[in-house]
Structure formats: structure tokens, C-alpha cells
Structure 1
């Protein structure tokens, strides 16, 4: 089973992985010596871009809210693209990176 299938079939799995991603946690606790060598984690901006039919984009935005990643109101309004029947929506986030 791929990780994508796990996300779709098990929302709890998706929630845990999402929390790890957003928090920058690495559940392998480093020793004091290792942590002294690691650079401090920093927040960096990241942008998510959804492109597709209005129905597909809206459905994905709602799914991401259900799994706790982002509220519907965090996304930009649906913006038309150069392709007929296609829209896009953008979400900007700050994530921890090390």
C-alpha cells in the first residue's frame, strides 16, 4: 500500500503525518551530542497550488480541512487559469525546516 493510499483510506494516519510535517518533529529523539550538532529549525514559507476543475479543487480543499491541514478560509478564492474550465487556488504556509 502506498503512502497516498494510506492517507486516503486512514484519515488518522494522514493527521499524524501532517502533524509531524507541520511541526518538524522527527520522532527519533537525538542524543545531547547529536542535538548540539544539528542546526536550529527555522520556519520557511511554502505555497500549495491546486489546479483543476472547480469541483476537483473545491473537493480537495474540503478534504484538506477534514484531515486538519488547512481551513477552507485559508485558501485563496478560485482563480481562472488560461485553460477553459480550469481554476486554481493558493495556500501559503510557514513550515519548520532544519
Structure 2
């Protein structure tokens, strides 16, 4: 059984390391772009809850309602936005997970 010289094995190991780094970088940037695209699609339209909360807040501001009521409605808008963001994020994570599993889910 022969041994390989260091001058042969070192470049091969360096090439393998560079290839591994390149694949990791490509995978990370691909996942980032997929996630960003999904978020941008989700941001184009508000959910019904977000639109309703926003309308109620605008109406309260235009009607010069008390500050407490406006603050409560603003908090409602925030909650609706967070819920929508969580839902979009969860859907994106599920899709990315399925892509990682090649659509098999296992």
C-alpha cells in the first residue's frame, strides 16, 4: 500500500475545503434569497386583520378620539402585524424545510 506525498495531498485537501466552503456559501445565499422573496411577497398585501386594525386606527385618529383609545388601537395594529409576520415566517420556514428534504418531509 503506497502513501501519497504531502505535495499531492495538500492541494487536494485545500481544494476540498474550498469546495465545501463554496457549497455552504451558495446554500446560505440561496436560502436567504428564497426567504427574502417570500417575505417580500407577503409584505405586498396585508392580512384582513391588519387592514381592519389599520382602518379602525385611522378612523379613531381622524375622529380625534381620546389618546387611550388610539393607543389601544395602535397596540392592536402591532399585534395584528406580529401575528401576520409570524404566520409568514412559519410558512417560509416550512417551505424551506420541505425544500431541504427534497419535498419528502422526512
TM-score (norm 1): 0.21
Bigger relative contact order (CA 8 A; separation at least 6): 1
TM-score (norm 2): 0.20
Judging by fraction of residues, say which structure has more strand: 1
